[in-house]
Structure 1
């Protein structure tokens, strides 16, 4: 599966940081992060809430645009090694300059320069999606949306929301999403990882995303699956993450095949791969082993991801050619 061209639409930039990279930065800055690592050097966490805390602790050593340039290079190297030809990475002004627009510009410029160099060196294309952090609250989400609106372009193309899905309501964040939409940013939103089908429906009604991050609990409601299929809303499914965090008990129980057979448009991503001991090759291998998917199914998934990608038509045409050949 390594040689199959892959697209990834749901990747958290900091969450994709290799543990060795974060340990190295911590050593450079004399920051003690030993408590977030296992003896073997991997990230240590217990459950989703603790995962968020460990994620934010690891992010604390990313303190400058140069740090993010180095991070971007490290993340794209591991993605390219797995056969990823296009990735959309979630980035947040909350971690890049404290939601100050001018500071955010510097961080984004550094990320973009590193991404463009990676494309020249490794053939992987990146686009950025700004995410507000749900558990930071709606006021900070508005500040994050302003940063996104001020820097929208051919590299920063989308806006979404991550974090603790059980905090607040979609209505709390409607202003931020409206601001992003008015700036012509494409819209996605985490929903249906922990929240039930009713919360997914409310997200669709209020925030009007064209994609959903995770969305797997939609499989519990046939009417919601029918709505997703008819509307064409695409799910950014992260099976390995769902298993690791206990959203589902095991791979055999994952609803991705049920969603796909119901006509819901699904894609495959890794979410925060080093945290969940996964990668795109492992995701493909486990899906093939569990559901009997062959290369034709994975090709269909890749083409669905091209259609759903937040990039220009010229880039999509180039990606389709790479998949089809």
Structure 2
């Protein structure tokens, strides 16, 4: 079947990483910024490997310089997601990119993003919530500053704190202060682990950061005891299959461990990560998974409800989303 209209919930989406290439090119032209090397001949983002991907990502992000730029980006990203049937998403937002971790500047960026998100919800029926995210390769000291920005703006819209970036730099525990700060502010926690860091990084995230969810986490499959632990604790994995394939973790979807993890009782969700970078969308993810594993509508419905249960939003928002998933048009 076509999965485009199937209602979806996405929990792992990088705000800047979801920027359509045409949007970034247009903004670069407006600002006379040279983005040589960022785009391939066909206009898509161009990168060789994960390290180069991070460089291209940050180069593309460099044209986003004002709160208005982020408001425009938010509308572009949410329009893209809504077209794929997404009714709710949680996006990773970095004060590093939004005002250089200055709290006053971060508040201005956040206000612009929230205003755009409210307009998108009214016009497109998609709800957005934010997860403040520190950048691992920027180091623990800057992560503390990011966590303070998160703590000061925690509430019904900023609902979580997480960490992205180069998973090979340092250890999860190096960032414990930032995660403790966010937890004390009432934020839910997630971190990238089990992608390039291997299964040990997943155990470190659970033990040292005490996170509620794991971003990626797929290499837990290499440690059967860890898989059993994830299943027993109900820890949710934010799995991004086509991202993993694009970055070379697995050669093709049939080799991806998402089905083995699911069969072992691990609560998995499906996400796009940085969709234009990896030539994906939520519909493409669903299509590829159906072809590879012969999943039916019942499996995808369970995955979406996994995401609903694991979402960091408040109960009122979760209740409205549950009604929409049940087909209640009045709740849209």
**RMSD between aligned residues:** 0.6
Give the whole-Å Cα distance in 1 for the aligned partners of 2:33 and 2:199: 42
For 2:330, the equivalent position in structure 1 comes to none
Q: What 5-or-longer segments of structure 1 have no aligned partner?
A: none
Cα displacement (A) at 1:47:
0.2
Partner residue in 1 for 2:85: 83
Q: CA deviation at 1:282?
A: 0.2
CA distance in 2, matches of 1:133, 1:227: 27
**Greater than 6 Å deviation, 4+ residue runs:** none
1:160, 1:151 → 2: CA distance? 14
Shift of 1:249: 1.3
Q: Does 1:270 align with 2:266?
A: no
Correspondence 1:1-16 to 2 at 5 A? 1-16=3-18
Q: Which residues of 2 match residues 61-100 of structure 1 at below 5 A? A: 61-100=63-102
SS at structure 2 position matched to 1:34: coil
TM-score, reference length from structure 1: 0.99
Is the CA contact 2:193–2:217 (under 8 Å) kept in the aligned structure 1?
A: yes
Rounded to whole Å, the distance in 1 between the matches of 2:146 and 2:90 is: 18
The residue aligned with 2:188 is 186
Report the 3-state secondary structure (helix = DSSP H, G, I; strand = E; otherwise coil) of the residue aligned with 2:181.
Answer: helix
Q: Which residue of 1 aligns with 2:236?
A: 234
Tell me how far 1:107 sits from its aligned partner: 0.3
Indicate the SS of the match to 1:36: coil
Counterpart of 1:304 in 2: which secondary structure? helix
Residue in structure 1 matched with residue 162 of structure 2 by the alignment: 160
Give the SS at the match of 1:259.
helix
Residue number in structure 2 paired with 1:122: 124
Q: How far apart in 1 are the matches of 2:172 and 2:320?
A: 36
Aligned to 1:32: 34
Q: Bigger shift: 290-299 or 8-17?
A: 290-299
Within a 5 Å distance, the mapping from 1:53-68 to structure 2 comes to 53-68=55-70
**Could you tell me the TM-score, scaled by structure 2's length?**
0.97
| Alpha-carbon distance in structure 1 between the residues aligned to 2:46 and 2:161 | 29
> CA offset at residue 161 of structure 1?
0.2
Q: Does 1:247 align with 2:249?
A: yes
CA distance in 2, matches of 1:84, 1:34: 33
Q: Which residue of 1 aligns with 2:200?
A: 198
**Distance in 2, Cα, partners of 1:319 & 1:4:** 14
How far does residue 34 in structure 1 lie from its aligned partner after superposition?
Answer: 2.8
Aligned residues: 325
SS at match of 2:80: helix
